[in-house]
Amino acid sequence: MIMKKLYCLMIPVLIFISFFFISSELTSAAKTIEILEITEKAEEADIEIASWSMAIKESIVAFDSIESVRNRVKEIKSREQGYEWSEEQFKGNHYKMVGVKGKGTNVDQQISIIYYPMKGNYKLSVTYNIDGEKWGIDIWEQVYNLYKSKIDKHKVFYTVEGYVEGQNNRIKKEAQNLIRSMSGKAVEGIYEENFVSISAYSTKWDVKVPLGDKQAMNMQVAYRDRGAHTEVTIGSPIIITEY
């Protein structure tokens, strides 16, 4: 559970993510698969991988009527087989539909569809969330084959969570070393006694998030010393989970 003093940190991060999803400022050329290098370098650093996730965010689409939105939702539900769906209304006329598949297996799959009225038409967003407890190249290949066309076309966020056993008083150094192993250069960071979070940029990865002042980032690494072990979270282009 995130510590109380990080609440102020997470608020601007979440606001930034919301803006980032809506905007088109995330750019990428030929898609690289950042999670492969993240997991490789994490294992080389003796980080035990506990979980991993991928979020694929489609661009927000406008429709001129609620009937068109509902037809689009029907198309998605018809195409994506095997999901159990639920729907809820929130924030007035905002609706969210969630489809879940694979609960209790090595990989959970979820589709989130949100639609709402805005300026005379309707906006619709679709996000695919894939969460795995165990990491293995064979598991990843199955997931990649299922989602390759979406990975190639849309914005993708990867997160890997793990831990290092034992006490650790070198979390800043280890975070910096991990970033360097992925050819990253730090652009900003938070450095505390038991917590370090560093945003960095690697020219090897095509995706990037502009930060202003002609800077950009495409990786984020966080270390938290828990005493008996150290929690490690790695994300590209940013971490989108609590850490």
DSSP string, the chain: ---GGGHHHHHHHHHHHHHHHHSS--B-SSPP-HHHHHHHHHHHTT-EEEEEEEEEEPPPEEESSHHHHHHHHHHHHHHSTT-EEEEEEETTTEEEEEEEE-TTSSEEEEEEEEEEEETTEEEEEEEEEEEESS--HHHHHHHHHHHHHHHHHSEEEEEEEEEEES--S-HHHHHHHHHHHTTEEEEEEEE-SSEEEEEEEETTSS-BEEEETTEEE-EEEEEEE-SSEEEEEEEES---S--
Do residues 170 and 243 share a domain? yes
Rounded Cα distance, 107 and 97, in Å = 20
CATH number of the domain to which 191 belongs: 3.30.360.40
Which residues are 196's β-sheet partners? 191, 223
Please indicate, yes or no, whether residues 196 and 114 belong to a single structural domain of this protein: no
* Amino acid (1-letter code) at residue 160: V
Task: Report the C-alpha gap between 165 and 48 in whole angstroms.
Answer: 8
**125 and 186 inside one domain:** no
Q: Which residues of 131-143 are buried (b: 16+ CB within 10 A; e: fewer)?
A: bbeebeeeebeeb
Are 146 and 225 members of one domain? no
Same domain, 124 and 77: yes
pLDDT at residue 31, as a whole number:
64
The last residue of a domain, from among 153, 168, 185: 153
pLDDT of residue 8: 42
Residue 192 burial (CB count, 10 A): 13
What one-letter code names the amino acid at 231? E
Domain count, the chain: 2
- Co-location of 70 and 146 in the same domain: yes
Q: Are residues 199 and 79 in the same domain?
A: no
The whole-model pTM stands at 0.85
Chosen domain end from 153, 170, 200: 153
Q: Are both 170 and 147 inside the same structural domain?
A: no
Average pLDDT per 10 consecutive residues for the chain, totaling 243 residues? 39 41 41 91 97 97 96 96 92 92 88 95 97 93 96 96 91 97 97 96 94 92 96 96 80
Q: Is 18 exposed, middle or buried (0-12, 13-18, 19+ CB in 10 A)?
A: exposed
Residues 29 and 70 in one domain: no
Instruction: Tell which of 132, 153, 174 closes a domain.
Output: 153
- Whether 227 and 188 share a structural domain: yes
CB–CB of 154/55 below 8 Å?
no
Q: Does residue 164 share a domain with residue 45?
A: yes
User: Do the beta carbons of residue 161 and residue 29 sit within 8 Å?
Assistant: no
CATH number reported for the structural domain that contains residue 126 in this entry: 3.30.2030.10
**Which pLDDT score, from 0 to 100, does residue 12 have?**
40
Residues 65 and 129 in one domain: yes
Residue 226 belongs to what domain range? 1-52+156-243
In this prediction, residue 116 carries a pLDDT of 95
Peptide bond into 210 cis (omega under 30): no
